[in-house]
């Protein structure tokens, strides 16, 4: 369970996130979407304990992240868009390092299946400099999954993965949610969001503009009914790909979802 | 793109980058701690200038008797530059930033212009360090004005930067371009090897005189080395370096002016050399421009890069500790970095072998007594103790660039800070202990020195225990200061393990001075209590009173440090990736 209440983040005078509140229940996959600079990264980094909220509370598994960061962090995993690895540790040493830090007792029993699941078993003794971008991403994911986090946060998890890796990654995320993890998935790939997420959180300029299941969002904003997710995104964030003003131009990927809100709602139900 | 347009674009890039850098530094002053640091830094510099106010205390007056300082500095600089020619090609000299590789390399800019832009960019660091050195060396007691010494230092630093770049270009050209490149590189390589060889041979010849002059003090040693280098061959070899050093050592405005011409000539020749070497390289280069960009991009790799041996195995690291607080893993990770990326064990082994070999050679040639071996060891050990925190950087200075990752770990700030400091202190203490083993081994295996060693040490076991306690105590203190500085002033402290060249020596000296100052203040109380305990304890414990007193002093130092680590832990928890420049994310 992830609970965020009245989260604010200021950088000097700049307000990156404003009064953001949401909850991710066990088994839920929340899609965090918004245009560039909307505050997605600031939100994810605060949830991962990297940034200190200026105000507001963040609870992971019922533990206040600001008051008890160490206890809270034991239950979460954050996988950044750019895999950050220690250059001087091999793949398997990374996992053993994380296992010791997160007090994973049956580390050896978990490491091998995880390496197989993420197709890293042949690279277990490789250094990060010897891995491709996709392999590094897989290692970062393996490090995040090793301790069975209650809260899993992924920032653009498919970047650098090959088609097979993408399929496996999607299956992994879904499996983790089914196993009871609360998952937050930040991505510009709307088809991924559409496929995996049970709820949506759309933010723009640090503020929440929509939150809930597609059906709940449409119920709140009837004008969105019948729209594809891409159109919905544009309508909600006020970004227009054809606008002359670059600030309002959407940067969502070209392969954004085209299923209508009805179809999405039906699938999620 | 025309040369003028390129020059204009690159000048714009350099000026705006410099301006933005200054503005970014200025923006740091919004934080009170940076204002306090600036005021303290100003006070420190003022103190240094005032301390240097007496003409008799001017370092130039003291060390340059009969031009000895000038000659020795020239020889040292020449020998230091030997590594650019004798070790593997210094690829970092050619490193470009990722932005430069991505944006400038595909642009219609010639390689010569790229090299020139790199030289111009390097000027910022050179000018900053010239400023620091001028302040450190000036004082009212200095023999020439500050601006004059500034120009002299600028010429010296710029020439050595050019020389380093030229060496890298020459050797890279030889490595990349089969026969033609090797042929072109052969002449300069042979010339410089001959120069280094001449100086090294003369110094080797004079080693008995140099060794025996140690007892008369540092000034006499300088004079002896100076005399050895008065050989006509040495004078010829050292002439260009001395021409560069002469304006720095000038004792009057007139002497400075006279010495400026030859120094500028050496600088100009180096500039032309770099440009010509580059042209030759360009002619010989066969790669397409994109491949070349890729090749040079790979040269910008960090110093810390884990490598495999030729056999394909990675260096072994310590096994993961199975018990204890998880923060131990931070120290374990940093030790892995030292063993793999930093080649710590290899460097330590080389250091011990060279040190032991030098001692053996000196003893064989001049029959050095154990007292001399011990004094040399103590001097080396002391230097390592003082300089170690500047050079051994497997701590927060390494990890702050990974702050985004480290912050997600389930560890408190104080655990992380303590583990970082204790881990690196252990690592550096092992280095010093390993070095101190050399004279112990000497004393054990050499019949003639054994008795004198025991006489000298009085009680070897209490002395050994004292050293075992003293070294980590001092390391904990100095590494706390270094890590504290990095954490409190990440925008001002060099992060990572990259050791920049001599142009960064000014900055290094400043942090070194601050470290010593803070460590000295922190040691006052423990040392006083320790001395009192040693004095009182002699009645009951005899020679063992010294290690007992040292243990008490160590306990007091720890009592001082633990609250500081907790405070730094709190700072760590409040530090965000945006506060630290050079984040990997």
Tens of pLDDT, residue by residue over B498-523, are: 555 444 556 667 777 788 888 889 88
Identity of the residue in A52, A80, A84 whose CB atom sits nearest the CB atom of B574: A52
Task: Tell me if residue A106 falls in helix, strand or coil.
Answer: coil
Mean pLDDT of A124-136: 87
Q: What pLDDT was estimated at residue B317? A: 86
Interface probe, candidates A88, A105, A107, A111, chain B, greatest B C-beta count within 10 A: A88
Which segments of B105-217 does DSSP mark as H helices, in order? 111-137, 146-176, 178-205, 207-213
Q: What is the mean pLDDT of residues B340-347?
A: 75
∠ CA B526-B527-B531, nearest 5°, is 120
Question: Average pLDDT for residues A7-32, to the nearest whole number?
Answer: 89
CA distance A155 to chain B (A): 12
pLDDT 10s digits, B146-193: 788 889 999 999 999 889 888 887 877 776 666 666 777 788 888 888
Partners of A10 in the beta sheet? A15
B456 CB-contact burial (10 Å; exposed 0-12 / middle 13-18 / buried 19+): middle
Mean pLDDT, residues A150-154 taken together = 93
Pick from A90, A100, A127: which is nearest to B326 by CB?
Answer: A100
**Cβ contact (<8 Å) for A89 and B336?**
yes
Paired with A200 in beta bridges are: A31, A212
Contacts of B242 (CB under 8 A, 6+ apart): B70, B71, B74
Q: Any CB–CB contact under 8 A between A67 and chain B? A: no
A93 reaches B (C-beta below 8 A): yes
User: Is the Cβ of A50 closer than 8 Å to some Cβ of chain B?
Assistant: yes
3-state secondary structure of A17: strand
Provide long-range contacts, Cβ within 8 A and 24+ apart, for B123-126. B123/B158, B124/B18, B124/B21, B125/B500, B125/B503, B125/B504, B126/B154, B126/B157, B126/B158, B126/B161, B126/B503
Residue B300 pLDDT greater than 70, yes or no: no
Written as six digits, the tokens of B76 are: 């040292």
DSSP for A188-231, please give it: S-HHHHHHH-SEEEEEETTEEEEEE-HHHHHHH-GGGTT-BHHH
Q: How far is B171 from chain A (nearest CA, A)?
A: 26
R_g (Cα) of chain B, nearest Å:
26
Residue B461: count of CB within 10 angstroms of its CB: 11
Query: Is B412–A100 a contact, with Cβ atoms under 8 angstroms apart?
Result: no
Spatial CB neighbours of B283, under 8 Å, sequence gap ≥ 6: none
Instruction: Grade residue A240 by pLDDT with cuts at 50, 70 and 90.
Output: low
Mean pLDDT of A176-185: 93
The pLDDT value given to residue B294: 46
Question: CA dist A51 to A66, A210, B123, B337, Å?
Answer: 10, 24, 36, 26
Please give the pLDDT value at position A5. 92
Question: Would you place residue B289 in the very low, low, confident or very high pLDDT band (cuts 50, 70, 90)?
Answer: very low
CATH of domain A2-75+150-268: 3.40.50.300
In this complex, do A50 and B573 lie within 8 Å of one another by their Cβ atoms? Answer: no
Q: Which residues of B90-106 are buried (b: 16+ CB within 10 A; e: fewer)?
A: bbbbbbbeeebbeebbe
Mean per-residue pLDDT over chain A, rounded: 84
Select from B329, B410, B585 the Cβ nearest to the Cβ of A97: B329
Q: Is the pLDDT score of B423 beyond 90?
A: yes
Give yes or no for residue A262 having a pLDDT over 80.
no
How many residue pairs from chains A and B have C-beta atoms closer than 8 A? 84
- Residues B160, B80: contact at Cβ < 8 Å? no
Looking at the complex, report in whole angstroms how far the Cα of residue A74 sits from the nearest Cα belonging to chain B. 5
Tell me whether residue A255 is exposed, middle or buried, using C-beta atoms within 10 angstroms of its C-beta: 0 to 12, 13 to 18, 19 or more: exposed
Question: Distance between CA B378 and CA B461 in Å, rounded?
Answer: 17
Please identify which residue in the block is written with the tokens 């370092």: B59
- Structure letter (DSSP) for residue B304: -
Q: What is the per-residue pLDDT across B520-575, written as a single tens digit (0 to 9) for each?
A: 898 899 999 988 988 888 888 888 888 899 999 999 999 999 999 999 999 999 88
How far is residue B557 CA from its own chain's centroid?
27
Question: Are A88 and B410 an interchain contact pair (Cβ–Cβ within 8 Å)?
Answer: no
What whole-number distance in Å separates Cα of residue B475 and Cα of residue B459?
Answer: 25
Distance, in Å, from the CA atom of B505 to the CA atom of B80, rounded to the nearest integer, reads 14
d(CA A221, CA A215): 10
For A244, phi and psi rounded to 5 degrees? -75, -25
A80 phi and psi, to 5 degrees? -75, 165
State the Cα–Cα distance between residues A169 and B310, nearest whole angstrom.
Answer: 35
A49·B408 Cβ contact <8 A = yes
Residue B157 C-alpha, separation from nearest chain A C-alpha, in angstroms: 33
Q: Give the residue from B241, B244, B195, B202 showing the smallest Cα distance to B224.
A: B202
pLDDT score for A185: 93
Query: Is pLDDT above 90 for B476?
Result: yes
According to DSSP, the residues that pair with A202 across neighbouring strands are: A33, A210
Chain B residues within an 8 Å CB radius of A71: 410
Please tell me if residue A89 touches chain B, with a CB cutoff of 8 Å.
yes
Q: Which residues of A touch B337 (CB under 8 A)?
A: 86-88
- What stretch(es) of chain A map to CATH 3.40.50.300? 2-75+150-268
Check A48 against B410: CB less than 8 A apart. no
Mutate to test the interface with A, among B408, B412, B419, B574 (most CBs of A within 10 A): B408
- Which residues have CB under 8 Å from B471's CB, separation 6+? B385, B429, B432, B433
Chain segment B425-458, per-residue pLDDT in tens = 999 999 888 877 776 676 666 666 555 555 555 5
Q: Which two three-digit tokens encode residue B357?
A: 């070999």
Whether B102 shows a pLDDT value over 80: the answer reads no
Distance CA B151, CA B127 (A): 10
pLDDT of residue A41: 85
Q: How far apart are CA B188 and CA A50, in angstroms?
A: 52
> How far, CA to CA in Å, does A118 sit from each of A22, A80, A114, A212, A268?
31, 17, 6, 31, 27
> From the centroid of its chain, how far is CA A257?
18
Do B409 and A73 count as a contact with CB atoms less than 8 A apart? yes
Q: Which residues does A196 contact at the CB level (< 8 Å), separation at least 6? A: A29, A31, A170, A173, A174, A177, A185
| CB contact at 8 A, B196 and B42 | no
Two tokens, residue A55: 């105000």
Q: What is the mean pLDDT of residues B397-407?
A: 88
Instruction: Tell me what ipTM this predicted complex has.
Output: 0.76
Q: Residue A77 is inside which H or E element, if any? A: strand A76-79
Q: Write down the pLDDT at residue B571.
A: 93
What contacts A175, CB < 8 A, 6 or more positions away? none
With CB atoms and an 8 Å threshold, state whether A100 touches B329. Answer: yes
- Interface probe for A, chosen from B24, B30, B305, B306 (most Cβ of A below 10 Å), is B306
Q: Residue B8 contacts by C-beta under 8 Å, 6 or more apart in sequence?
A: none
Query: What is d(CA B208, CA A77) in angstroms, rounded to the nearest whole number?
Result: 64
Residue B115's pLDDT is 73
């Amino acid at each position: 369970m992830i609970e965020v209440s009245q989260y604010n983040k200021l950088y000097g005078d700049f307000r990156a996130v404003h009064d953001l509140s949401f909850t991710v229940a066990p088994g839920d996959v929340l899609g965090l979407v918004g245009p560039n600079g909307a505050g997605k990264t600031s939100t994810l980094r605060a949830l991962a304990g990297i940034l200190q909220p200026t105000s507001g509370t963040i609870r992971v598994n019922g533990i206040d992240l600001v008051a008890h960061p160490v206890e809270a962090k034991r239950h979460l995993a954050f996988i950044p868009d750019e895999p950050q690895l220690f250059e001087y540790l091999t793949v398997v040493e990374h996992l053993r390092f994380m296992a010791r830090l997160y007090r994973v007792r049956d580390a050896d029993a978990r490491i091998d299946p995880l390496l197989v699941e993420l197709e890293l078993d042949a690279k277990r003794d490789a250094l990060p400099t010897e891995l491709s971008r996709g392999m590094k991403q897989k290692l970062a994911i393996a490090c995040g999954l090793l301790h069975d986090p209650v809260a899993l946060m992924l920032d653009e998890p498919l970047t650098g993965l090959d088609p097979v890796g993408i399929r496996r990654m999607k299956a992994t995320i879904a499996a983790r949610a089914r196993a009871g993890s609360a998952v937050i998935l930040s991505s510009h790939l709307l088809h991924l969001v559409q496929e995996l997420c049970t709820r949506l959180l759309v933010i723009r300029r640090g503020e929440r503009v929509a939150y809930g299941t597609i059906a709940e969002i449409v119920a709140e904003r009837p004008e969105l009914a019948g729209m594809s997710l891409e159109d919905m995104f544009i309508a909600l964030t006020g970004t227009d790909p054809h606008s002359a003003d670059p600030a309002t131009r959407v940067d969502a990927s070209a392969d954004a979802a085209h299923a209508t809100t009805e179809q999405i709602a039906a699938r999620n139900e | 793109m025309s040369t003028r347009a390129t020059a204009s674009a690159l000048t714009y890039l350099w000026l705006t980058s410099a301006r933005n850098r200054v503005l970014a530094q200025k923006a740091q002053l919004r934080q009170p701690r940076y204002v306090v640091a600036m005021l303290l830094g100003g006070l420190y510099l003022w103190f240094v200038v005032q301390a240097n106010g007496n003409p008799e205390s001017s370092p130039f007056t003291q060390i340059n008797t009969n031009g000895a300082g000038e000659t020795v500095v020239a020889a040292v600089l020449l020998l230091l530059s030997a590594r650019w020619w004798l070790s593997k090609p210094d690829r970092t000299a050619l490193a470009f930033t990722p932005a430069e590789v991505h944006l400038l390399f595909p642009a219609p800019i010639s390689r010569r212009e790229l090299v020139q832009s790199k030289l111009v960019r390097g000027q910022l660091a050179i000018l900053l360090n010239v400023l620091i050195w001028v302040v450190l060396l000036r004082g009212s007691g200095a023999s020439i004005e500050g601006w004059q010494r500034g120009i002299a230092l600028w010429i010296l630093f710029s020439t050595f930067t050019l020389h380093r770049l030229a060496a890298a270009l020459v050797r890279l050209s030889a490595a990349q371009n089969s026969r033609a490149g090797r042929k072109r590189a052969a002449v300069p390589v042979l010339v410089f090897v001959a120069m280094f060889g001449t100086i090294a041979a003369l110094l080797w010849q004079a080693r008995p005189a140099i060794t025996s002059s140690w007892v008369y003090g540092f000034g006499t040693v300088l004079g002896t080395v100076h005399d050895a280098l008065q050989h006509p061959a040495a004078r010829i070899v050292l002439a260009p370096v001395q021409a560069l050093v002469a304006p720095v050592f000038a004792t009057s405005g007139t002497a400075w002016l006279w010495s400026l011409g030859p120094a500028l000539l050496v600088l100009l020749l180096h500039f032309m050399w770099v440009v010509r070497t580059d042209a030759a390289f360009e002619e010989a280069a066969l790669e397409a421009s994109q491949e070349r960009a890729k090749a040079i991009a790979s040269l910008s790799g960090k110093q810390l890069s884990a490598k495999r041996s030729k056999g394909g195995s990675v260096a072994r690291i310590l096994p993961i500790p199975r018990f204890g607080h998880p923060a131990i893993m931070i120290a374990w990770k940093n030790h892995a970095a030292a063993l793999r990326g930093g080649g710590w064990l290899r460097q330590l082994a080389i250091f011990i072998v060279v040190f032991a070999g030098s001692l053996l050679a000196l003893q064989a040639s001049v029959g050095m007594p154990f007292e001399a071996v011990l004094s040399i060891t103590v001097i080396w050990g002391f230097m390592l103790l003082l300089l170690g925190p500047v050079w051994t950087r497997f701590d927060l200075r390494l990890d702050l660039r990974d702050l985004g990752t480290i912050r997600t770990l389930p560890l408190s700030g104080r655990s992380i800070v303590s583990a970082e400091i204790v881990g690196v202190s252990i690592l550096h203490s092992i280095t010093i202990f390993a070095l101190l083993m050399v004279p112990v081994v000497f004393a054990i295996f050499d019949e003639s020195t054994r008795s004198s060693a025991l006489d000298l040490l009085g009680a070897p076991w209490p002395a050994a225990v004292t050293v075992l306690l003293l070294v980590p105590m001092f390391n904990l203190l100095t590494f706390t200061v270094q890590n504290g500085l990095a954490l409190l002033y990440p925008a001002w402290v060099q992060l990572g393990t990259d050791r920049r060249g001599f142009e960064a020596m000014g900055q290094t000296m400043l942090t070194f001075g601050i470290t010593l100052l803070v460590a000295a203040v922190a040691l006052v109380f423990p040392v006083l209590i320790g001395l009192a305990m040693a004095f009182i304890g002699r009645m009951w414990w005899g020679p063992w009173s010294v290690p007992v007193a040292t243990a008490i002093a160590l306990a007091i130092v720890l009592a001082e440090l633990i609250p500081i680590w907790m405070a730094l832990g709190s700072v760590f928890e409040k530090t965000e990736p945006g506060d630290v420049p050079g984040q990997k994310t």
